[in-house]
Amino acid sequence: MNDNYYRIYDQLYDTYPDEFLALRLGTFRGSFFANQFYEELREFIREQEYYVGIIRQTIMVYEMDNRFFLRPDAKMFLVTNFNQMIIKPIIIAKNENSLNLKQYSISEIIEKDVKTILRHTFEIKRDKEASGHDIMRAIDQLWGKLESTKLEIWG
């Protein structure tokens, strides 16, 4: 991987998603969103931030416990795709009262799937840092075994 992109992905991962930071700075209030939707948006973003935090924590603990590290592009790939394709739709479904969780909470589903993906990626890579492509391959190979897949969010 090109060193410049390594650094860029590292920075992007550290600030992902940008709207969390923007919300804290108050840049969404006023001209961009009508004030009547501000509190709803704020809550939506808080929930995303909470679940993205679970992903980050799970990655960090797995890396430390297993001495297996993900490149910044791998972390960004995992957190971005989980947020966009799983977390956001789950939050919306929950808010619309159309979410039917049978066995696990949202937090448990996220943590369990991320651990499963990391474990499988570790089996693929062993001694090397894992890339975004390695994460993608692991997800492809695990598709039917992931708890989030059972929710039929996409696929």
Write down the domain spans for the chain: 3-151
Q: Is 129 exposed, middle or buried (0-12, 13-18, 19+ CB in 10 A)?
A: middle
pLDDT digits (tens, 9 = 90+) for 65-88: 999 899 999 999 999 999 988 898
| Segments in the chain below pLDDT 70 | 1-2, 4-5, 8-9, 12, 15, 17-38, 101-103, 155
Paired tokens of 25: 């700075």
What is the pLDDT of the chain when averaged over all its residues?
A: 82
